[in-house]
Amino acid sequence: MRASIKLREILEAAQVVRTFRPRPNCVFVSTLGVNNSWRSIASSLGFLAPTSTREYASSRSCGLAQRETNYFADRTHTCRFAENDVMIMHADTNRGIEVLLNPIYNKGTGFSLAEKERLGIRGLTPPRYFTIEQQCEKIWANLTEKGKTGMFRWRSMQALQDRNETLFYRLLVDHIEELAPVIYTPTVGEACLQYSRLFRRPRGMYFSADDVGHFNAMMYNWKNDVSVIVVTDGSRVLGLGDLGAHGMGISVGKLDLYVAGAGIEPSSVLPCVLDVGTDNEELLADPYYFGLPQKRIKGDAFMNIVDEFIQAVKNRWPKALVQFEDFSTDHAMPILKRHRENVLCFNDDIQGTAVVVLAGIYGAMAAMGKSPGAITEQTFVVCGAGSAGMGIVNFIHAALVHHGLSPQQAFERFYILDKHGLITSNRELKEGEPGVDDLRPFAESRRDLPDGINLREVIESAKPTALLGASTVSGLFTHEILTRMGELNKNPIIMPLSNPTSRAECTAEAAANATEGRAIFSAGSPFDDVSRNGVTMVANQGNNLYVFPGLGLGSILVGSNYISDGMLNAAAEAIPKTLHDGAIRRRAIYPRIADIRNVSVKVAAAVMKQAVDEDRENRGGKIGHMISREGIEGLERYVRSSMYYPEYRPTVFSPGSGRGTL
Ligand code: NAI
């Protein structure tokens, strides 16, 4: 029977079913308790195992839940295709134990009786049926037992992903706030340190220096269609330095967050490592290190490898998004500049981080009862002119221009200091030094003050509304500095962004003490909220998770081949819009991670709208048309309906595979 069967034919088929007399060679659909919609009937195509009404009745009387039937009854959202309501097995999959050994199809104790028959696994799993919610509950209880370490949780989650992918993602979605720090930083860092030893099953793809010349062909070893790739060369993994091929842990973790946070289909993500060697002596001496045991390839040879990788991606999946992750600072920006217009891509360390900080500034505007456009009234003092500081400064500058200032006016809003003090037009900037090109226009616009004056003097002259730190100098924001910020502003914006906590420019407590808790505070590291004289100062913490899943989803759905500054700015503006009134009153400037799917919907829709406005849509006008017909709410509905949600769907054999036949 064809998958494209017509509704009338299906209804006729349903009629046949009612008057069924068993014969081999036909599709058998149990109608008891099954929604009679064409979807439920179509979902049964491709299998032949009979499921009699008596069997349903007897299983019910045994108290066995029948999730397969409830699945349709419980639906709160509508799907547009039959394929969305069923899990169609790959044509190469055999009935029986093979189903249980495949993490994509395995449901453990979550197979209905009908499915057990259909898939040839009756008797191969314990008789009692558990819902996915019950399974999650059991695993969660196990993970959160007293004394269980982060690494125990990481390993348990890996093992779960290896045996039941749906359950893994469901647990992650349901407990994203608690599990994001396990799947990603900080615990994944610990895992990356010993990744070779923890290696169990391959996940993702390794492109090594030994494979040069073959990347194109290798891409075809990956069978699925891919829409998001995270790639690293492992040269600067979190704060841990060069971990070589162990960087795979980062690519895998990040993509798990794409799936959980924005509902990207798990089958369409591809974690990658470019293994060009490592300069980590410990790894080179480790007999079990699974990457190339050689020093890093550098210079042009390295760039050629990146180029070959990007070209191979473009050849195989021209619309895929590539996210660059944890490349060393000297390579990160050059790679982004080289490929930004060549392939749909972004760098989360540079752009994702800058968007989060900007989102915090917009959140601060909301906390002060102002519109995002009020960002043009702010004056920024920034300590730190390294890659983090300049990345953030450049991006806030773009936002000021976006909101109406001329580039020159926007440059003048910044007072940038490095370890030698304020940087002005009198500073001798050395040609060719990293970051100098970015810094120069800011320096040249600062002609009103002497070069090299210290932070206290700068604050006195500039009277800033916002003080940002990316200097790595602990305690740089002294009590005196913070007090002065509190005198100058009702709600001073204080952002000590340096990591880890030991390097933060000030603590939350110091900021609250000096400002009677009036500061709008956000740090790069976690701090507890602080109460002073009945006023609670929320210790906000930026997290790139607010940005990259929604940004990725939006740019794919709109079909753009470029992520513009305007789209990044739209993402930043969308994030505080998910804050509810109570949170804004408390001066929370970021939403809760638990709300990430909602945040991603808003971010994706905002990114898509901006892309349409910039004429970057590549979906034949569909998205623009949707916005003009149904507004941003309609667009958000569309985004939501496009998101994968991990739940058990009835599993059917691929029509035409013939593998499901008895
Ligand atoms: P870097 O070492 O390249 O730059 C540090 C900068 O701080 C230099 O310009 C240096 O001259 C300046 N500096 C040093 N002492 C200073 C002082 N007393 N006053 C003013 N400036 C001073 O470091 P990079 O890569 O730029 O990172 C800086 C920090 O930012 C790190 O702690 C990093 O973890 C953090 N970071 C935070 C992010 C966040 O979103 N929270 C994102 C990325 C980095």
pLDDT tens-digit readout, 275-299: 999 999 999 999 999 999 999 999 9
- Residue 97 tokens, joined: 């134990």
pLDDT at 20 over 80: no
Contact indicator for 83, 4 with CB cutoff of 8 Å: no
Quickly tell me which residue has 């064809």 as its tokens. Answer: 2
315-373 tens-digit pLDDT? 999 999 999 999 998 899 999 999 999 999 999 999 999 999 999 999 999 999 999 99
- At 82 the pLDDT is 56
Position 53 scores a pLDDT of: 33
For range 18-44, the mean pLDDT: 39
For ligand 1, atom 14, which residue shows the shortest CA distance?
Answer: 419
Give the pLDDT of residue 94: 86
Give the pLDDT band (50/70/90) at residue 28: very low
Ligand 1 center–CA 581 separation, angstroms: 34
Query: How far does residue 476's CA lie from ligand 1's centre (Å)?
Result: 12
pLDDT tens-place string over residues 381-436: 999 998 889 999 999 999 999 999 999 999 999 999 999 999 999 999 988 777 78
Q: What DSSP string describes 99-134? A: HHH-TTT--GGG--HHHHHHHT-TTTS-S----HHH
**Ligand 1 atom closest to the CA of 498, numbered from 1:** 32
Report the separation in Å between the CA atom of 469 and the middle of ligand 1, taken as the mean of its atom positions: 7
pLDDT for the residue 58:
34
Which atom of ligand 1 has the smallest separation from the CA of 384?
7
- Give the C-alpha separation, 509 to 132, whole Å: 43
Burial of 547 (0-12, 13-18, 19+ CB in 10 A): buried
Percentage of the chain beyond pLDDT 90 is 79
Choosing from 349, 497, 545 the residue with most ligand 1 atoms within 8 A of its CB, the one to mutate for a pocket test is 497
**According to the model, what pLDDT value does residue 431 have?**
81
333 residue type, one letter = M
State residue 43 phi and psi, 5-degree precision. -65, -20
pLDDT at 37 over 50: no
Mutate to test the pocket of ligand 1, among 499, 501, 589 (most ligand atoms within 8 A of CB): 499
Ligand 1 atom with the smallest distance to the CA of 544 is: 40
Span from the CA of 384 to the centroid of ligand 1 (angstroms):
5
- Tell me how far CA of residue 405 lies from CA of 289, 357, 410, 611, in angstroms: 52, 20, 6, 22
Residue whose CA lies nearest to ligand 1 atom number 34? 499
Q: Which residues are catalytic?
A: 184, 254
Contact in structure between 429 and 439 (CB atoms under 8 Å): yes
Query: What is the side-by-side strand order in the sheet with 228-232?
Result: 205-208, 269-275, 228-232, 321-324, 345-347
Nearest residue to 596 (alpha-carbon basis) of 213, 111, 259: 259
**What is the Å distance from ligand 1's center to 255 Cα?**
27
Q: Residue type for 575, please?
A: I
Q: What is the mean pLDDT of residues 123-151?
A: 97
| Helices and strands of the chain, counted as H and E runs | 30, 16
Instruction: Give the pLDDT score at 45.
Output: 39
Residue range 424-445, pLDDT digits in tens: 999 999 887 777 889 999 999 9
Residue 568, SS3 per DSSP: helix
Picking from 328, 433, 326, 438, the residue whose alpha carbon sits closest to that of residue 382 is 438
Nearest to 110 by CA among 88, 133, 76: 133
Residues flanking ligand 1, CB < 6 Å: 329, 353, 357, 383-389, 417-419, 470-473, 476, 497-499, 503, 524, 542
Closest CA relative to residue 644, chosen from 136, 172, 16: 172
Rg (CA), the chain: 27
Question: Cα(62)–Cα(72) distance, rounded to whole angstroms?
Answer: 22
Separation CA 52–CA 29 (nearest Å): 8
Residue 498 Cα to ligand 1 midpoint, Å, equals 6
| 179-225 per-position pLDDT tens digit | 999 999 899 999 999 999 999 999 999 999 999 999 999 999 999 99
Highest mean pLDDT among 35-44, 71-80, 447-456: 447-456
Tally of CB atoms within 10 A around 124: 13
Euclidean distance between CA atoms 258 and 338, whole angstroms = 25
Rounded Cα distance, 626 and 23, in Å: 48
Residue 18 has a pLDDT of 44
Query: How far apart, in whole angstroms, are the C-alpha atoms of residue 396 and residue 38?
Result: 52
Q: Whose CA is nearest to atom 23 of ligand 1?
A: 386
The confidence score (pLDDT) of residue 174 equals 98
* Residue of 393, 472, 474 to mutate, ligand 1, most atoms within 8 A of C-beta: 472
Mean pLDDT of 548-577: 97
What's residue 654's pLDDT? Answer: 77
Q: What is the mean pLDDT of residues 524-543?
A: 92
Name which residue sits closest to atom 31 of ligand 1, judged by CA. 498
Question: What pLDDT digit, counting tens, does each position of 220-257 carry?
Answer: 999 999 999 999 999 999 879 999 999 999 999 999 99
Q: What is the Å distance from ligand 1's center to 439 Cα?
A: 14
Residue 206 host element (H or E): strand 205-208
438 burial type by CB count under 10 A (0-12 exposed, 13-18 middle, 19+ buried): middle
- Report the Cα–Cα distance between both ends of the chain, in Å, rounded: 16
Whole-angstrom distance, CA of residue 313 vs CA of residue 1: 37
Asked whether the predicted pLDDT for residue 24 surpasses 90, the reply is no
Which DSSP string do the residues of 68-100 spell out, in sequence order?
A: HHHHHHH--S--SSHHHHSEEPPTTPPSTHHHH
Nearest CA to ligand 1 atom 16: 419
Averaged pLDDT for residues 34-59: 35
Please tell me the distance from the alpha carbon of residue 382 to that of residue 458, in angstroms, as a whole number.
Answer: 10
Residue type, position 132, single letter: I
Q: How many CB atoms lie within 10 A of CB 5?
A: 18
Give yes or no for a contact between 481 and 450, defined as CB atoms under 8 angstroms apart.
no
Q: What are the tens digits of pLDDT across the range 479-511? A: 999 999 999 999 999 999 998 889 999 999 999
Confirm if 555 and 321 have CB atoms less than 8 A apart. yes
Which residue from 498, 467, 469, 468 is spatially nearest to 484, judged by alpha carbons?
467
Atom of ligand 1 nearest to the CA of 471: 7
Which residue has a Cα nearest atom 9 of ligand 1? 385
Q: What does the DSSP assignment read for 525-558?
A: S----EEETTEEEPEEE--GGGTHHHHHHHHHHH
Q: pLDDT at position 659, please?
A: 55
Burial environment of residue 48 by CB neighbours within 10 A (0 to 12, 13 to 18, 19 or more): middle
* pLDDT score, position 528: 95
3-state per-residue secondary structure call for 38-57: HHHHHCCCCCCCCCCHHHHH
Res 616: pLDDT: 97
Handedness of CA 382, 386, 392, 395 (dihedral sign): positive
- How confident is the model over 65-80, as a mean pLDDT? 44
Average confidence score pLDDT of the chain: 88
Smallest CA-to-CA distance from 379 within 427, 429, 446 is with: 446
d(C-alpha 580, C-alpha 363), whole Å = 11
The fraction of the chain above a pLDDT of 70, given in percent, is 86
